[in-house]
Structure 1
Amino acid sequence: MVAGYRTDMADEARSLWNRSAGANTELPGVIAREENLGGLAVTAVEITDEAGAHALGKAPGKYFSLDLPVHFDRGAEEFASAVGTLAALISRCIPEGADSVLIAALGNPDITPDALGSLAAGSILVTRHLKKSGSPGFEGFFSLALCRPGVLGTSGIETASQVSVLCRELEPSFVIAVDALAGTDADRLGRAVQVSDAGISPGSGVGNDRQELSRGSLGVPVVSIGIPTVIDAGLFGGDALSGMFVTPRSIDSLVRSGARVIGYAVNMAVHHLSIADIDALVG
């Protein structure tokens, strides 16, 4: 929480800190820059020490936020640029020499704003079993396994515990966790993506902190990918709406489109597939 507001987005947290502190200079322990990648706006925030981590309420690491184009559903011309740019950002976070990955599709598939991970999983090409069995044609692919841990209320098991067990069994080079996020900018809900190499604490943006998924807890690097889908209603109505969260009316289509962008971008980043390849393999 920064300046009394909850956000999982590092660039928003930095803006909130600067606004509350009246600062015109860079926050100590935080390096930020803006760039244009594939014709889309990207903000990179790197938290370099504990002072920066404390100020922004985020773990040290690199955070990249991508503002998606106005239209990014599968039929839009901009879909390819959204996927390609996101894949490039994911590639920046993949550990050198990695050849296997475990995807953790987080969240509750029965609640639309929280269904991002589950929906993205449907567009990701799983290959671990094919490579293990020696199936021809998959020699150049990553070994990719995927799990949908669900939520504590329906499984009775912490997400981090499930993923930790799988990491010990499968020994992936790293983990990619996909989850819905909370933000503070209503205009960005469903329309921005954050990629980070700092792991993730599921539910932290809505005050439901669960055990983190990180190198420290899992023993391997953790890349997180998320889209903000909810905003604290207290931003609009003060204390009267504190603890309530709102989401756009069009959240169903936004989450589905965003999940497909993420799924395709993961395939492009780890398997080095084209969009046409992905269409043919996972549709």
Structure 2
Amino acid sequence: MMSETSRLEGKVALVTGAGQGVGRGVALALAREGAAVVLTGRTESKLRSVAVEIADRGAKAHPVVGDVGRREDVELMVAECVAVFGRLDVLVNNAQSSVQRLLKDTGEDDIDLAYRTGPLATFRAMRAALPHLRAEGGSIVNFGSSTAVQGDPAFGSYAMAKEAIRGLTRTAAREWGRYGIRVNTVCPAAFSPAADTFRDADPERFERFVAGIPLGRMGDPEQDIGRAVAALVSDDMAYLTGATLMLCGGRTLLA
């Protein structure tokens, strides 16, 4: 069912990593506000499942299978979005691959994976989207991480990549503001397949993690993260750019 506000009616959004977790939640929330959504990811069955959910809510969705770690796939995602819907107004760079290891055990291959699927993929998507976002002004949301802001142990390569994305976001906000393009970062603490793996592998550590969140819970991908992203890319937040929105229940507050 569509939202009563439909703040994104007539807009087209592209969400990477939209087949599950936070990406799915963001896609559902954008569709609820009236946007047509291009869903990208590596697993076609997951994308099609989310597309059905969106169609059942009365909105439009189009799945595009691809790996953000490959430049040609990223360019295809953007090109197909414009070919299918005729425009691109919102780009959400959510997809990211990484491994968890202590720094002493982290190899260059781990760092390469995190950078190739994180800041490099984000840069490629932003540059491919730029001509289309300039047409009428648009909005980019890049995903950082509360884990990177906190410097959590065993997340070295991931933290490096996510903080690089925040730097890229701020530079793009300065350079592309003249085109009417807003660029912001969201740092969530929310349920996802990776969070589920973390919980199942080390329940005690996961409980300590949640206990460190002032609101006392992990975020819901659609209700807590997706709805905030929908508000962020709407005209309600038209004067915000270059910012980092901490959607983490307060876990990064200074003691």
Q: Which has the higher strand share?
A: 1
Between structure 1 and structure 2, the one with the greater Rg is 1
Question: TM-score with structure 1 length normalisation?
Answer: 0.34
Q: Which has the higher helix share?
A: 2
